[in-house]
Structure 1
Amino acid sequence: MNEHEDFSRINRKKRHNKSNRFLNIMIGIVVVLILIVGATLITGGKNKGKKDDQASEEVTTDKQTNDSSTDEGAEADDETSRQDEDDETDGTSEDSALEDEEDATGSKEEEQDTEAGSVTIVPNDDAIIEETVVNTAWEPIGTEQSGAHTSKYDGNSVDWNEKKKAIAYATGIPENELIYWKIKNGGSPQKSIGIVSTKDKQQKYRVYLEWIDGAGWKPVKMDKLTTLDFDY
Structure 2
Amino acid sequence: MEEQRRYRSKKHMTSKQKGDRILNYLIALVVGLIILVAGIIFSGGEEQQKAKEPEKEAVTAQPQKETPKEEEPVKKKKTVKPTVVKDVEELKKSDTVKVSKSDEAIVDEVIEDKEWKPYKTAQQDDGTTMHVSSYSAGTVDWNEKLQAVQNITGLKEEDWILWYAKGNGSADASIITVSSKDQTKKYRVSLKWVAKKGWKPEKVEVLNQLQGAY
- TM superposition score normalised by structure 2: 0.52
Indicate the residue corresponding to 1:172 in structure 2.
154
The answer on whether the counterparts of 1:128 and 1:227 sit within 8 Å (CA) in structure 2 is: yes
Indicate the residue corresponding to 1:219 in structure 2.
201
Identical-residue share of aligned pairs (%): 39
The answer on whether the counterparts of 1:118 and 1:137 sit within 8 Å (CA) in structure 2 is: yes
Pick from 72, 93, 98: which aligns with 1:120? Answer: 98
The answer on whether the counterparts of 1:142 and 1:216 sit within 8 Å (CA) in structure 2 is: yes
Instruction: Return the offset for 1:146.
Output: 0.5
> Which residue identity is paired with 1:119?
V
Q: Distance in 2 between matches of 1:166 and 1:112?
A: 18
- TM superposition score normalised by structure 1: 0.49
> Matched residue pairs, number?
120
1:130 match: secondary structure: strand
2:190 match: secondary structure: strand
The answer on whether the counterparts of 1:138 and 1:170 sit within 8 Å (CA) in structure 2 is: no
1:140 match: secondary structure: coil
Instruction: Return the offset for 1:113.
Output: 5.7
- The structure 1 segments of at least 4 consecutive aligned residues displaced by more than 4 Å after TM superposition are none
Indicate the residue corresponding to 1:4 in structure 2.
none
Say yes or no: does 1:193 pair with 2:175. yes
Identify if the C-alpha distance between structure 1 residues 167 and 112 changes in structure 2 by more than 3 Å, giving closer, same or farther: closer
Q: Distance in 2 between matches of 1:231 and 1:120?
A: 21
Q: Distance in 2 between matches of 1:176 and 1:132?
A: 25
> Which residue identity is paired with 1:124?
S
Identify if the C-alpha distance between structure 1 residues 138 and 198 changes in structure 2 by more than 3 Å, giving closer, same or farther: same
Say yes or no: does 1:155 pair with 2:137. yes
Q: Distance in 1 between matches of 2:207 and 2:108?
A: 5
Say yes or no: does 1:141 pair with 2:119. yes
Identify if the C-alpha distance between structure 1 residues 206 and 125 changes in structure 2 by more than 3 Å, giving closer, same or farther: same
Instruction: Return the offset for 1:135.
Output: 2.1
Q: Distance in 1 between matches of 2:103 and 2:135?
A: 30
Structure 1 or 2: more helix by fraction? 1
Gaps of 5+ in 2: 1-90
> Which residue identity is paired with 2:108?
E
1:218 match: secondary structure: strand
Q: Deviations over 1:2-32 (max 9, x none)?
A: xxxxxxxxxxxxxxxxxxxxxxxxxxxxxxx
Q: How does 1:12-91 map to 2 (within 5 A)?
A: none
Q: Distance in 1 between matches of 2:175 and 2:114?
A: 18
The answer on whether the counterparts of 1:210 and 1:220 sit within 8 Å (CA) in structure 2 is: yes
Indicate the residue corresponding to 1:57 in structure 2.
none
Identify if the C-alpha distance between structure 1 residues 138 and 176 changes in structure 2 by more than 3 Å, giving closer, same or farther: farther
Gaps of 5+ in 1: 1-110
Q: Distance in 2 between matches of 1:181 and 1:112?
A: 25
Say yes or no: does 1:228 pair with 2:210. yes
Q: Distance in 2 between matches of 1:209 and 1:160?
A: 12
